[in-house]
Amino acid sequence: MTMHAQDPDLKEAIGAQADAAFETVQALYRQLHQYPELPFQEHATSTRLAEALEHLGLEVTRGVGGTGVVALLRNGEGPTVMLRGDMDALPIKEETGLDYASTRTAETESGTVPLMHACGHDLHSSCVVGAAAVMAGLKDQWSGTLMLICQPAEEIFGGARAMLEDGLYERFARPDVILGQHNMPALAGTVGHRAGGAMAACTNLAVTIHGAGGHGSMPAQTVDPVVIAAHVVTRLQTIVSRKVPPEETVVVTVGKLHAGTQANIIPHSAELEINIRSFDNALHRQVVEAIERIIRAECEAGRSPTPPEFRVLNETLALHNDPATVERVRQAHGEHFGEANLYAMPRLNGSEDFPYFGNAQAGGFGGEDIPYVYWFIGATPEERWQATPGNGVAEKMRHLEMPHSPYYFPGNAVTLRTGIEAMAAGALAYLG
């Protein structure tokens, strides 16, 4: 009998398969957590994930877009549903106190750095494996193709485009719908959804302002790039206040300004790094263009001998969840978890490269856009949640550790189990 998301027997079937797979998936999660790897260096991580998916009988391909893994579970005629998880870690020293906490380090251009899964990507990729196990155990109850992605380098907004440029959709399948999730410090066991704009576009821009250095006592014989940079920093703040419509949300932050070596030396150059975030891709591009225009003008006004240099460190699109897809997945999650365990996710200024999979046309990879939904699973145990001050999800989360904190730990059993079942229930909303 073909089952649908509203069938109570399907909820029991998903739960039974999740029970059967949970111990193995939890062991995998703890292994990934203990041995994190930086973006595009996830060699051991991707090997462990590929082996786990191969053990389930899926068609697995390694090395897609560098270290990415693609797995297919073909099960007759029907749509193709893609489930995506990321797997890279961060250069942060873990302070969680877990008995399987990371003590690893890595060598980078800036020296030796500690490593930690402080954003829960180990949780996301483990949930993909868990969902694959559930779906493999329910093959007689759905039809179509399940496409599973373990993506590298989300933290530097590089992995999604790398996999697409490596022919992800041409080599494997072009999905009809794309599903993804992220952990947040909401109550464990709950799932949050948001239609439309959910996460911000982001550009990290490096700028070099050129001057003509010399002795600090003779500034008239120099071109001081520090003064030019100071004017740039101040003038950039007028973009949001005077160029952006008041109803829009845009952030322009100069997070790095470096010049010179000591007080009596006027340097030859100044280096800036600028972070830009917004929720509208077209407006975002206009803001980046305004930043470049202002910097060129200030350099000309300051007699800079060489035009400024611009380098995009990394960037990503705004994440806009397809409303119809959100409603379909939310209904499936409501039937599975109960309406009381769903919440309205507030819009986040954080950013993701997940939209590139759906906005393939905007990303320059051809084809029409693919509908997607990216939801959020709670990661705070109930006892901690109840002890946290505030009313409502947004207010309570202000008092809790967020992703990228050295104390952040989303991998409790309830959250892992919720993530597995949320992905399976979402897939079955289209394949059941």
Q: Which residue among 37, 42, 86, 88 is the active-site one?
A: 88
Query: Which one of 37, 94, 122, 154 is the catalytic residue?
Result: 154
Respond yes or no: is residue 9 known to be catalytic: no
SS (H, E, C) the chain: CCCCCCCHHHHHHHHHHHHHHHHHHHHHHHHHHHCCCCCCCCHHHHHHHHHHHHHCCCEEEEEECCCEEEEEEEECCCCEEEEEEECCCECCCCCCCCCCCCCCEEEECCEEEECECCCCHHHHHHHHHHHHHHHHHCHHHCCEEEEEEEECCCCCCCHHHHHHHCCHHHHCCCCCEEEEEEEEEEECCCEEECCEEEECEEEEEEEEEECECEECCCHHHCECHHHHHHHHHHHHHHHHHHCCCCCCCEEEEEEEEEECCCCCEECCEEEEEEEEEECCHHHHHHHHHHHHHHHHHHHHHCCCCCCCEEEEEEEECCEEECHHHHHHHHHHHHHHHCHHHEEECCCECCCCCCHHHHCCCCCCCCCCCCCEEEEEEEEECHHHHHHCCCCCHHHHHCCCCCCCCCCCCCCCHHHHHHHHHHHHHHHHHHHC
**Does the active-site annotation cover 88?**
yes
- Catalytic residue set: 88, 154
